[in-house]
Amino acid sequence: MKVLRRATVAVLVLTLMLCSAVRAQGLKQLPANPLVVIKMNNPEGISKKLADWSQKLGLANFDPAFGNPLAALKKQLNIKDGPEGGLDGKGEVIVGLYEPPQPGDEPLIVALLPVSDYKVFLGNLANLKTEGDVSSFTLPDEQEPFYTANWGKFAAITPTKDLLTKKPEGVEVTGAASKQLDSNDVTIFANMKQISAKALPKFREGRPMVIEGLSAELKRNPQMNQKYTPVIKVVVNQVLNGVEQFMSDTQSATFGLNIAAQGITTSLQAEFTPDSYCGKTVASFKKSNASLTAGLPARKYFAFGGSTLDRKVTAKVLEDILGPIQKELAGLGDDTKGLLTAIDSAKAGLSSVDSFSFGYVQPTQIGNQSIIQAVMVYEGDAKKLAEAERAYMQASADIFKLMPQAPGMNMAMEVKPGAKTVDGVTLDQFSMKFNFDANTPEAAQAKQMINMFYGPNGFNGVMGAINDKDYVMVMGGDDDLVTAAIGSAKKKEDALSQTDLVKAISAQLPKERTIVYYVALDNIATTALDFMGQMGFKIPLRLPEMSPIGISLGTEGSVLRIDTAISSDMIEKMVSAGMQAAMMMQNPGGKRGGL
């Protein structure tokens, strides 16, 4: 019940987005030390955008409330328009979440609504009772009271009366978090200084118990080779180190959302102390304003993108993460040589790369081709990368030989150096073969699924250096894809970034980034529908070509940010497809057509 009551406060705030906001000082009217702050800028603009989107998507045809959602919600809550409502149309809407009085309880919550006349605002509220500076009231369909007090130019509202007995001390937000709170339509701010101060001592106190519990669980597992217990403990300890480092080094974390006619964008940011490990590492990340997709052939993809790297930074980060694990593995004897070689090779290979582009190709024939097809184009020290990749693949093949096999099923990995030449480029071949016992029902069923995923020839690929700088790897594709990948990599073709759909999304992401990634939901959905059809579940629905989702990772000093962009084009077409699918389900015997 408390969850519903606290959620009601958030709903109340969301429904009272009334008029254009200015940069008021709402944060100064919050109680001190919030764990989380939610802030809305230009609430009237947000509501208008939502109404416009509802009209564009046709949602208003299903329910008129979508055409003017705020009017419908205000009517439901008995909040009057204009001066009669007592609300200030030039204010901000802010919510603060605070540490609960007892561990395990829900966070306390305070919502600030801007008021032009607090007494007039109180006149909107039902079952109003006032004692001193605090008033109680109820919302429609709510029995338990909420409480409100006049703090500056705000009505502070909460289900916890004690929060209103002290005057607010305010919250000071600086740096990147402050910019986020000012610039986004909606921003969620995590006060990491406050959260870490509370969480870190408990985390450090609990770490030994986590390791002890893991050790006990591993000892109880009869299938576990106890020889590898120290390695597993080191891996878990590295993960815990990362969590502790993040909490120690992070000053703030924010999530911002913006709604516009061209689509929806979000930004997730973590700001680290500049001289901390995380801060220095993030600040050293390389950025580029290039497309980062050069070299990929012009095909349809499930997803594609690229990254720019600094070799020294890559080597340091990999050593910091994998070094302790390798040290533990080195003491376990000959059985771990293959794994050590694989890790060493991966480190050497990644540390020789300056940039790379990658794409997961949409197959053209389900059942005859591998569903998992990928093209990777690297730029750096191609000779060093070729040696590292060959060693990594061979080590992986050796590791496979040591792995336990399921009854009736057997997997084997094979590497053939220099086995294939395409367009004058010598390539290594690698493959994963699946052998099944036809007399085992489970193996026969697994064979059917494996063949559908990887095709009748199993999973295979090629890799090799094109020249001193460029290196290509193709997994799961046929000879046509290999030839196209090599030709595109040689010419540095960049057809993907030049399409109108990708251009439109890329323009909504930061210009400089370390990684960019595009996800094509239309191609994923089409292949999923084809795959279901192969299994006997035919759905006669086809999605039109649409913009991909854009995702980028970049830095601004010691700030790490992940941005996403979703176009209005994609949203409209996905909603249209959803409506068509719903109509098909309601009328399965009627006429069905593709989009």
Q: What does the pLDDT look like over 398-440, one tens digit per residue?
A: 777 666 666 667 777 888 999 999 999 999 999 887 777 777 7
The least confident of 230-244, 429-443, 470-484, 496-510 is: 429-443
Higher pLDDT, 48 or 270: 270
The structure's pTM equals: 0.86
Q: What is the DSSP letter of 93?
A: E
DSSP alpha helices (H): ranges in 359-475?
382-402, 441-454
Banded model confidence at residue 507, pLDDT cuts 50, 70, 90? very high
The whole-angstrom separation of Cα 28 and Cα 361 is 52
The phi, psi pair for 130, rounded to 5°, reads -120, 130
The least confident of 2-11, 227-236, 295-304, 542-551 is: 2-11
The least confident of 164-173, 512-521, 584-593 is: 584-593
The whole-angstrom separation of Cα 510 and Cα 328 is 41
Find the domain containing 69 and state its range. 2-172
Average pLDDT over residues 284-312: 96
Tokens of 93: 């809407």
Residue carrying the six token digits 């829900």: 106
* Residue 85 resides in a domain: yes
Report pLDDT for 150: 92
* Residue 35 resides in a domain: yes
Q: Is the pLDDT of residue 76 over 80?
A: no
Q: How many Cα atoms occupy the beta-carbon half-sphere of 493 within 13 Å? A: 15
CB count within 10 Å of CB 418 equals: 11
3-state secondary structure 501-537: HHHHHHCCCCCCECEEEEECHHHHHHHHHHHHHHCCC
Banded model confidence at residue 515, pLDDT cuts 50, 70, 90? very high
Q: Is the pLDDT of residue 201 over 90?
A: yes
* Residue 519 resides in a domain: no
Report pLDDT for 591: 47
pLDDT averaged over the chain? Answer: 84
Report pLDDT for 311: 96
Q: What does the pLDDT look like over 326-351, one tens digit per residue?
A: 888 888 777 788 888 889 999 999 99
Q: What does the pLDDT look like over 362-375, one tens digit per residue?
A: 988 776 778 889 99
* Residue 91 resides in a domain: yes
Banded model confidence at residue 282, pLDDT cuts 50, 70, 90? very high
* Residue 194 resides in a domain: no
The count of domains in the chain is 1
Burial of residue 471 (number of CB atoms within 10 Å: 0-12, 13-18, 19+):
buried
* Residue 490 resides in a domain: no
Higher pLDDT, 301 or 219: 301
The least confident of 164-168, 186-190, 319-323, 560-564 is: 164-168
Give the CA-trace dihedral at 340, 341, 347, 351, to 10 degrees: 160
* Inter-helix orientation angle 337-350/311-330, to 10°: 170
* Residue 70 resides in a domain: yes
Strand (E) positions, 273-352? Answer: 301-308
Q: Are 461 and 358 in contact (CB under 8 A)?
A: no
Work out the percent of the chain whose per-residue pLDDT is above 70: 85
* Residue 412 resides in a domain: no
The whole-angstrom separation of Cα 233 and Cα 223 is 17
What's the first-to-final CA gap in the chain, in angstroms? 44
Q: Is the pLDDT of residue 538 over 90?
A: no
Work out the percent of the chain whose per-residue pLDDT is above 90: 46
Banded model confidence at residue 24, pLDDT cuts 50, 70, 90? very low
